[in-house]
């Protein structure tokens, strides 16, 4: 009587030097920044407006394969771009996505404006985030015209596994693209555009994921409340 031994699942990971990681992330984030700037353009460019909520936030979507990309835009009066940027970061956004965020920490700083971050959500989180973690880069740039951009997206799974081994009970999702474009309109107002495309991985119906993604782009409103509550707040890296 013969028996068959099933091979252990193979989890690929790449060991990458810090210099190579920096070059890769810089290139990937450059593409993300250009996508965000394009999305902030008031022109159509394939965006379908879903509606404008009572607070004046415009919600749009654009087809990107099976998962849509979602966009919210809001004119913020009495808020400067610099004030809004104090809370426009991956960690504050994650806290708005789900209050059951278990861990949010900076893994590595590659440059003053370029970092690697780990976000981990617990089993009591919303379905889109339950027992999921994301290894993302965050890059902050000021354009020549003064427009401020924050680009946030997941690292490829193989690179992420080399930097941070996945926990056994966690599903590693992919933040395909996300970020903010903050345009100064006058001394006391700015136009904020937020874009997100999220693949939570694991088994969730795509239509369900797309429906929940529409709620993610509403975090602009919550972030504005944070700004007004602590107008001089400065975001610091978690220790």
Q: Tell me how far apart the alpha carbons of residues 233 and 188 are, in angstroms, rounded to a whole number.
A: 17
In a domain, 174, yes or no: yes
In a domain, 30, yes or no: yes
Q: Tell me how far apart the alpha carbons of residues 76 and 187 are, in angstroms, rounded to a whole number.
A: 12
pTM for this predicted structure: 0.84
Domain residue limits at 109: 18-229
112: pLDDT strictly greater than 70: yes
**Domain CATH code at residue 126:** 3.30.530.20
* Span 116-126, average pLDDT: 91
Q: How many separate domains does the chain show?
A: 1
In a domain, 7, yes or no: no
pLDDT score of 43: 67
Instruction: Determine phi and psi for 75, rounding to 5 degrees.
Output: -85, 115
Scored b (16 or more CB within 10 A) or e, 184-220 reads: beeeeebbbbbbbbbbbeeebeeeebbebbbebbbbb
Instruction: Determine phi and psi for 215, rounding to 5 degrees.
Output: -75, -25
Name the band, by pLDDT with cuts 50, 70 and 90, for residue 137: very high
CB atoms near residue 10 (< 10 Å): 5
pLDDT score of 9: 42
Q: Tell me how far apart the alpha carbons of residues 152 and 180 are, in angstroms, rounded to a whole number.
A: 9
Q: Tell me how far apart the alpha carbons of residues 123 and 125 are, in angstroms, rounded to a whole number.
A: 6
Contact call for residues 169 and 143 (beta carbons, < 8 A):
no
Name the band, by pLDDT with cuts 50, 70 and 90, for residue 153: very high
Q: Tell me how far apart the alpha carbons of residues 6 and 63 are, in angstroms, rounded to a whole number.
A: 40
Which residue has better confidence, 125 or 55? 125
167: pLDDT strictly greater than 80: no
pLDDT score of 233: 44
Instruction: Kindly calculate the radius of gyration of the chain based on its CA atoms and give it in whole angstroms.
Output: 19
**Total residues found in the chain within this entry:** 239
pLDDT score of 59: 87
In a domain, 104, yes or no: yes
In a domain, 1, yes or no: no
Q: Tell me how far apart the alpha carbons of residues 16 and 50 are, in angstroms, rounded to a whole number.
A: 42
235: pLDDT strictly greater than 60: no
pLDDT score of 207: 66
Segments in 40-163 forming alpha helices (H): 81-85, 90-97, 157-163
Q: Tell me how far apart the alpha carbons of residues 84 and 185 are, in angstroms, rounded to a whole number.
A: 13
Instruction: Determine phi and psi for 100, rounding to 5 degrees.
Output: -95, 30
pLDDT score of 8: 40
Name the band, by pLDDT with cuts 50, 70 and 90, for residue 64: confident
């Amino acid at each position: 009587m013969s028996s068959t031994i099933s091979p252990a699942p193979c989890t690929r990971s790449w060991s990458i030097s810090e210099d190579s990681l920096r070059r890769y992330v810089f290139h990937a984030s450059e593409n993300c920044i250009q996508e965000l700037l394009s999305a902030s353009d008031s022109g159509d460019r394939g965006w379908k407006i879903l509606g404008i909520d009572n607070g004046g936030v415009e919600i749009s979507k654009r087809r990107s394969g099976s998962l849509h990309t979602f966009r919210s835009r809001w004119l913020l009066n009495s808020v400067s771009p610099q004030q809004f940027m104090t809370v426009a970061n991956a960690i504050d956004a994650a806290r708005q996505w789900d209050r059951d965020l278990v861990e949010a920490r900076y893994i590595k700083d590659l440059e003053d404006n370029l970092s690697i971050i780990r976000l981990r959500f617990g089993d009591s989180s919303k379905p889109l985030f339950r027992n999921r973690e994301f290894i993302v880069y965050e890059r902050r740039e000021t354009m020549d015209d003064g427009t401020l951009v924050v680009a946030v997206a997941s690292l490829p799974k193989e690179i992420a596994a080399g930097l941070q081994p996945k926990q056994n009970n966690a599903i590693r999702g992919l933040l395909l693209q996300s970020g903010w474009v903050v345009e100064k309109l006058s001394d006391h107002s700015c136009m904020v555009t937020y874009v997100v495309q999220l693949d939570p991985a694991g088994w969730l119906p795509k239509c369900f994921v797309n429906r929940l993604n529409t709620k993610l782009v509403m975090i602009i409103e919550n972030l504005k409340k944070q700004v007004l509550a602590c107008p001089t707040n400065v975001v610091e890296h978690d220790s």
